[in-house]
Chain A
């Protein structure tokens, strides 16, 4: 079964309609400005489990939505 994301505006829609937007999340233990910039630009938490994500519903309402998803399902 294809993954469906629940759009607050359009209801559950197949992932093919969406574009994923990575949200930078530098950890608190990085304190130097340069380190934080590198982290924001390139590094990713690559979370295994539930997390909040940003998705652009390109094939629907064409709005950015915040969606909670479990990356193991």
Chain B
């Protein structure tokens, strides 16, 4: 609507939880090679996930194919998981940027700023990102920490590889 072009595509990301696992499982196990992660929720459910669905989409559909794709490496690495039952599965949509790193700051349209491209790792980075964006809006100057994340990095040919976000796994 503002006529701002973004290097962003929207992809679904799925996850699922199992029934209660009676023992306590402390670590978060993630394997970039095997393409999955698992951790235990405070309620004792095992939470599993993997990478984004390959099709660009705004749909919240979840699929059996994702379950089997994610379960195979999971039970291979942690065989106890095969005794659990899958309770719930869901999908959300993630804004994936071309260089898998977030985009923050001015857009060229007066008074219109963006913070997007947080991808599949947005929870972790956004507390700092939000604080810095607030500083930018209130202070009229881009804080040093987020300056490299500006939208004009694509014009200036300085793509990022931000180790604090989705880029880590690509």
Chain A interfacial positions (CB closer than 8 Å to B): 1-3, 14-16, 18-20, 22, 27, 29-30, 38-39, 41-44, 46, 48, 69, 71-73
Contacts and interface: CB of A to CB of B under 8 A. Distances in A.
Nearest to B10: A46
Interface string B1-44: 00101111110000000000000000000000000000000000
A3 B57 contact: yes
Nearest to B60: A72
Contacts of B58: 48, 71-72
A38 B154 contact: yes
Interface of B: 3, 5-10, 53-59, 61, 63-66, 69, 98, 154-155
Contact of A3 (B3, B55, B155): B55
A20 B55 CA distance: 7
Given A42-B154, A44-B9, 4 more contacts: A2-B63, A44-B6, A46-B6, A71-B58
Contacts of A18: 54
B154 A46 contact: no
Query: Taking chain B's interface residues, is the majority helix, strand, or loop, or is none over half, making it mixed?
Result: loop
A71 to B, nearest CB: 5
14 contacts: A2-B63, A2-B64, A3-B61, A15-B54, A16-B65, A18-B54, A20-B56, A29-B3, A30-B5, A42-B98, A43-B154, A44-B8, A46-B10, A73-B59
Contact of A1 (B8, B53, B57, B61): B61
A46 B9 contact: yes
A39 B64 CA distance: 36
A-B interface, 6 closest residue pairs, ranked by CB to CB distance from nearest: A2-B63, A43-B5, A42-B7, A2-B65, A42-B154, A72-B58
